[in-house]
Amino acid sequence: MSNDNNEKTAEYFATQQKEISVSQFFEKNKHLLGFDNPTKALLMIVKEAVDNSLDACEEAETVPNIKVVVKNSEGNNFRVSVTDNGPGIVKEQIPKIFGKLLYGSKFHHLKQSRGQQGIGISAAVLFCQLMTGKPAKIWSKTSNKKYTHYCELLIDSNRNEPDVIKEEDIENSVIKEHGTKIEMEIVGRYRRKQGVDDYLKQTSISNPFAKITYHSPDGKKTVFPRSVTKLPKPAKEIKPHPYGVEFGILDRMLKKTNAKTLVSFLTKEFSSVGSKGAREICKLAKLKKSASPSSLKRAEIKKLLLAMQKVKIQRPPLDCISPIGEEEFKKSLKKEYPEAEFVTAITREPAVYRGTPFQIEVGLAYGIDGRDDKSAEILRFANRVPLMYQAGAGAILEAVKKTDWKRYGLQQPAGSIPLGPLIIAIHMASSWVPFISESKEAIAPYPNIVKEIKLAIQDAGRKLSSFLSGKRRLGEQKRRLQAFERYATEVAYALSELTEKNRKEIENKIIELIKERTKLRKDGDGNE
Amino acid sequence: MSNDNNEKTAEYFATQQKEISVSQFFEKNKHLLGFDNPTKALLMIVKEAVDNSLDACEEAETVPNIKVVVKNSEGNNFRVSVTDNGPGIVKEQIPKIFGKLLYGSKFHHLKQSRGQQGIGISAAVLFCQLMTGKPAKIWSKTSNKKYTHYCELLIDSNRNEPDVIKEEDIENSVIKEHGTKIEMEIVGRYRRKQGVDDYLKQTSISNPFAKITYHSPDGKKTVFPRSVTKLPKPAKEIKPHPYGVEFGILDRMLKKTNAKTLVSFLTKEFSSVGSKGAREICKLAKLKKSASPSSLKRAEIKKLLLAMQKVKIQRPPLDCISPIGEEEFKKSLKKEYPEAEFVTAITREPAVYRGTPFQIEVGLAYGIDGRDDKSAEILRFANRVPLMYQAGAGAILEAVKKTDWKRYGLQQPAGSIPLGPLIIAIHMASSWVPFISESKEAIAPYPNIVKEIKLAIQDAGRKLSSFLSGKRRLGEQKRRLQAFERYATEVAYALSELTEKNRKEIENKIIELIKERTKLRKDGDGNE
């Protein structure tokens, strides 16, 4: 236990301590953001850019037109560009938005959006530069400017700051009225399944109002058209709910507020707290209604927090979420799966976890080509973004497996995904989705979330069930009628013997009758 | 697509953009660091403090004495303190080490250590303050100072900077010669299984040189003694290996180096590159050996990178890792599982993934109480730290399941964990462990890592197998001898008739013979 070695002293160790920038952190831990392998990396680059574009358009209440181009440039390098018709970005903000991690507009606001951390697009830029050394290129035009601003940038990862290497205003660009284009280059691998193609198809399902044009590396052009022309009602920002706040946050809010009294603090800074509720909270906490918020001591704050969680308070306002909608969900499933015999969708009433509102939607499409004996295909969405990886770890798969699908007429191996030609599409919309990792690949399986998903599946499952039993009934009837048809000649013969009428005439009438009955049943079938 | 609403313009959106501090990020995403639920949170607090203490002692080459106290203070609040006999921390460094996320000594160095990110202990402080509002208390004494420095701090999460609220030098503290004590308070839940108790027991297995004294919330004191008295050979820092470097990193190294020529750059900045290898790389890349590193253009850097990955280069030096060791591993398993009939351990030769050295160790303990019909218990370790959660997602479980345990005499349901009274302890030591999340709960299942683990399991499995077949043989022999014993009287009678000797005497000799044979077998049994 001697310390005679100079290199082993506290003083020596002190010289080794150093700050780590968040860029350096993610550069070294790139797998945390989903850049594990070349296929996934290529997908992530497209995903971050498209998510950003859709968020920008939706915020500006513009019906999105998105163009995605993925080109194999050299060797394993792929050049990805995404162009949108959003509001554009003012030129002073471009470097930070694309060249600084943990910078953005959504982290501090409580409402549904695709991005929530301010990491996605800048991490994509960081990763591209790490793998290819190439800067990101950005074109952006706002509606009140004549020129498109062009900018090339890298990220100085030691400082987590943008490093602009070229910047100019250009007159004629691809952007006509307003919008943003980003181009990045990455080392990747192109695969159709679980890659960019699947991601864009699913994005089109959860964003029925968006038109996406896609040029794939093999030179193919695919257009995912809109299935509805109207944007959804925009999500509104809300204040935190008393049930979802921790000691440290409450403490900070008390210190920062402009409110002069506790009652006004509670009603002004939180959602769903009226003056009656606020007075009740003060009473239960044994605190003066007129107390100055910033004067509260630790023990008092603790009492206040407990009271806030005990007093019955209305759920938070629900206009901070913007679901896909039952009709819209059905339309987009029909558009992407035209072969489906039956399509249904359910949007549950919003629910709340830890003070945060969320809403579950389930869409089912039955009769999908080539999937008869396989497990159903599960599409997972969070705030309209398709989740492509880590299905095993999340709330959605857990809920699907825990559902008793036999009740709805499907086969299901014990505790597993049901079998059949079925698409199960599940969407969670929330002002804050609890992802299990920064790469946002799966929703944490909190019990109330899993429960709500199960309930939504059950609602949709009942509809599927009545379709399937109708289909079965129809099948039986058809078989019976077919048998009858087969014996029509003989029956006609017997009847003509009995009635002494023309045999051919009787036979024709029987066949007509059969046809009519079959048609009748067919009309009763199909989509609701 | 109109922009007549002022709130929907690019100019308005620009005002909403804001920097997010890494503290704010983790405050909101606390589940990413493992603070999902009260049981886990309590464990994480202890874990971060103990890991830090062990790292500090090991770096200073001090045999660790660690004291852990967990007390239920009020309601669901728990006060956790961890005291070590490490080198202590100079007082200027205390605030940043405990009160700033992404600050530390290990991130920028390539060698095995428990911490690697500079997030653990400060995140623990952040989380405690979030849940209870209480500051962390730190006492630290370095060997050359008379006084212990005492400090109370919070984290200003807006700035990710420490906020020291009290500081003083005190004369008589719990720390005698040198060391550090930290005390934090958290809202938690105490559970024995998969909690602090299990974590400390496992820590004692993977750190046989550490003495840990533990006072649990129920007032019990447990001492985990050392099973070896010597510290392992310390891990040495290494330089990056050419096979594990990306374009962006190489680019940065070229710009930063003091080396004047490409050849000296390659030999000085990388491990395992001699001048012959460096010349070969230059030749393959068609670059001048004397070229100035900082003058290289993008295309040249790319060629250099490709050549670095193609030329045959020795594996990196392996002294950057410090395994538990076969003898040490066996000793600590015997100490913690004294009932085990058989204990073995294997330390594989180091291997390399993506230029990073790693080493796998497997310990098996057979004959564990109360586990006969159950699945074997798997203990997972990374750089001597027990991994307590997310077993399902990692390389270790995958390797265990993929091993054919029937070959080693165990039952195994298809593709699952083997059955039997067995502990399977697996350790990965590396200069950089690829965890699947910041909470460092599971090792990413990279193919070469899984493969190495499987090979190590097979080595250990063969030893288990010969013990088990010995045991089976012994069982049969015992049964045969027992049968013989049962008939000893009659055999003696028959023999006395034949030989006309004293019957009792013959019987005694037979029994003696049986006893001796049984004893003989017993000596041949057991631990190797």
pLDDT in tens, B71-114: 999 889 999 999 999 999 999 999 999 999 998 888 777 888 88
Q: Which of A105, A251, A438 sits opposite B16 (nearest CB)?
A: A105
Asked if residue B217 and residue B88 are part of one domain, the reply reads: yes
CB A64 within 8 A of CB A85: yes
Query: Which tens digit of pLDDT belongs to each residue from B230-286?
Result: 999 888 989 999 998 999 999 999 999 999 999 999 999 999 999 999 999 999 999
CB A402 within 8 A of CB A356: no
Inside any domain, residue B501 = no
From A42's Cα to the closest Cα of chain B, the distance in A is 16
What is each CA distance from A204 to A200, A333, B298, in whole angstroms?
A: 6, 9, 38
Question: Is A438 in Cβ contact with B32 (below 8 Å)?
Answer: yes
CB B221 within 8 A of CB B215: yes
- The residues, any chain, with a CB within 8 Å of residue B359's CB and separated by 6 or more, are B318, B321, B323, B347, B348, B349, B350, B351, B428, B429, B430
Asked if residue B358 and residue B414 are part of one domain, the reply reads: yes
Show which of A224, A253, A281 is a domain's final residue.
Answer: A224
Quote ipTM for the complex.
0.81
Asked if residue A160 and residue A39 are part of one domain, the reply reads: yes
Could you tell me the CATH number of the domain that includes residue B449? 3.30.230.10
Question: Is B3 in Cβ contact with A143 (below 8 Å)?
Answer: yes
Pick from A228-232, A241-245, B39-43, B351-355: least confident:
B351-355
Question: Is B28 in Cβ contact with A130 (below 8 Å)?
Answer: no
Asked if residue A186 and residue A52 are part of one domain, the reply reads: yes
From B9's Cα to the closest Cα of chain A, the distance in A is 6
Question: Is A103 in Cβ contact with B18 (below 8 Å)?
Answer: yes
Query: Which tens digit of pLDDT belongs to each residue from A413-438?
Result: 988 999 999 999 999 999 989 888 87
Inside any domain, residue A337 = no
Asked if residue A268 and residue A183 are part of one domain, the reply reads: no
Inside any domain, residue B16 = no
H or E element: which one contains B291?
A: none
Asked if residue B289 and residue B185 are part of one domain, the reply reads: no
Pick from A167-171, B8-12, B361-365: least confident:
B8-12
Question: Is A61 in Cβ contact with B13 (below 8 Å)?
Answer: no
pLDDT of residue A118: 81
- Counted residue by residue, chain A has a size of 528
Task: For residue B509, give the DSSP letter.
Answer: H
pLDDT of residue B5: 54
CB B89 within 8 A of CB A10: yes
- The residues, any chain, with a CB within 8 Å of residue A22's CB and separated by 6 or more, are A101, A102, A160, B22, B102
Show which of A427, A461, A495 is a domain's final residue.
Answer: A461
Query: DSSP letters of A125-173?
Result: HHHHHHHH-PPEEEEEE-TT-SSEEEEEEEEETTTTEEEEEEEEEESS-
pLDDT exceeds cutoff 70 at B22: yes
Assigned token pair, B488: 């000893």
From B142's Cα to the closest Cα of chain A, the distance in A is 6
Instruction: Over range B440-446, report the average pLDDT.
Output: 89
H or E element: which one contains B164?
A: strand B161-170
Question: Is A133 in Cβ contact with B247 (below 8 Å)?
Answer: yes
Question: Is A90 in Cβ contact with B143 (below 8 Å)?
Answer: no
Q: Which residues of A155-172 are buried (b: 16+ CB within 10 A; e: fewer)?
A: bebeebbbeeeeeeeeee
From A470's Cα to the closest Cα of chain B, the distance in A is 40
pLDDT of residue A6: 59
pLDDT of residue B109: 79
Looking at the structure of chain A, the number of domains it has is: 3
pLDDT of residue B526: 44
Could you tell me the CATH number of the domain that includes residue B294? 1.10.8.50
C-alpha–C-alpha distance, residues B468 and B472, integer Å: 6
Residues linked to residue A424 through DSSP beta bridges, in sequence order: A364, A378
Asked if residue B286 and residue B195 are part of one domain, the reply reads: no
Chain B residues whose CB is inside 8 A of the A130 CB are 246-249
Helices marked H in B94-160: 94-99, 120-132
Pick from A447-451, A502-506, B154-158: least confident:
A502-506
Instruction: Over range B290-313, report the average pLDDT.
Output: 93
CB B67 within 8 A of CB B175: no
Q: Which of A13, A56, A93 sits opposite B105 (nearest CB)?
A: A13
How remote is the C-alpha of B195 from its chain's centroid?
Answer: 16
Q: Within 13 Å, how many C-alpha atoms sit on residue A356's CB side?
A: 19
Please report where in the chains the tokens 């029987």 appear, as a residue.
A510
Q: For residue B386, which of B17, B48, B58, B59 has the smallest C-alpha distance? A: B48
Inside any domain, residue B290 = yes
C-alpha–C-alpha distance, residues A342 and B228, integer Å: 69
Which of A100-114, A456-470, B115-129 reaches the highest mean pLDDT?
A: A456-470
Q: For residue B362, which of B315, B391, B392, B400 has the smallest C-alpha distance? A: B400
Residue B110 phi/psi, 5° resolution? -95, 90
Q: For residue B422, which of B478, B463, B474, B479 has the smallest C-alpha distance? A: B463
Using alpha carbons only, give the angle A376, A381, A384 rounded to the nearest 5 degrees: 140
Asked if residue B200 and residue B60 are part of one domain, the reply reads: yes
Biggest distance spanned by C-alpha atoms of chain A: 124
pLDDT of residue B53: 96
Inside any domain, residue A487 = no
Question: Is B130 in Cβ contact with A246 (below 8 Å)?
Answer: yes
- Give the model's confidence band at B2: pLDDT under 50 very low, under 70 low, under 90 confident, else very high: very low
Could you tell me the CATH number of the domain that includes residue B195? 3.30.565.10
Query: Which tens digit of pLDDT belongs to each residue from A58-104?
Result: 989 999 999 999 999 988 999 999 999 999 999 999 999 999 999 88
Asked if residue A251 and residue A213 are part of one domain, the reply reads: no
Question: Is A444 in Cβ contact with B247 (below 8 Å)?
Answer: no
Query: DSSP letters of A418-434?
Result: PBSSEEEEEEEEESS--
Domain limits at A449?
A: 326-331+347-461
pLDDT of residue A519: 59
Residue B489 phi/psi, 5° resolution? -60, -50
Residues linked to residue B154 through DSSP beta bridges, in sequence order: B163
User: Could you tell me what percent of chain A has a pLDDT over 90?
Assistant: 62
Please report where in the chains the tokens 């798969």 appear, as a residue.
A397
Chain A residues whose CB is inside 8 A of the B107 CB are 18, 20, 24-25, 28
What is each CA distance from A227 to A149, A325, B508, in whole angstroms?
A: 33, 12, 97
Query: DSSP letters of A8-62?
Result: GSHHHHHHH-EE--HHHHHHHTGGGGT-SSHHHHHHHHHHHHHHHHHHHHHHTT-
Chain A residues whose CB is inside 8 A of the B59 CB are 8, 13
CB B266 within 8 A of CB B277: yes
- The residues, any chain, with a CB within 8 Å of residue A47's CB and separated by 6 or more, are A199, A385, A388
Assigned token pair, A414: 């014990």
Asked if residue B142 and residue B190 are part of one domain, the reply reads: yes
Query: Which tens digit of pLDDT belongs to each residue from A311-331?
Result: 999 888 888 999 999 999 999
pLDDT exceeds cutoff 50 at B524: no
More confident residue, A236 or A437: A236
Residue B3 DSSP SS3: coil
Asked if residue A109 and residue A195 are part of one domain, the reply reads: yes
C-alpha–C-alpha distance, residues A184 and A80, integer Å: 5
From A474's Cα to the closest Cα of chain B, the distance in A is 42
Nearest chain A residue (CA) to B6: A60
Inside any domain, residue B351 = yes
Instruction: Over range A258-267, report the average pLDDT.
Output: 96
Show which of A461, A476, A506 is a domain's final residue.
Answer: A461
From B527's Cα to the closest Cα of chain A, the distance in A is 33
pTM of the prediction?
A: 0.84
- Give the model's confidence band at A524: pLDDT under 50 very low, under 70 low, under 90 confident, else very high: very low
How remote is the C-alpha of A487 from its chain's centroid?
Answer: 56
Inside any domain, residue A513 = no
pLDDT of residue B517: 63
Mean pLDDT of chain A: 89
Nearest chain A residue (CA) to B177: A1
Residue B330 phi/psi, 5° resolution? -60, -45
Angle between helices B247-256 and B298-310 (to 10 degrees): 110
Asked if residue A204 and residue A299 are part of one domain, the reply reads: no
Inside any domain, residue A338 = no
User: Could you tell me what percent of chain B has a pLDDT over 90?
Assistant: 62
Q: Which of A1, A25, A31 sits opposite B62 (nearest CB)?
A: A1
CB B140 within 8 A of CB B85: no
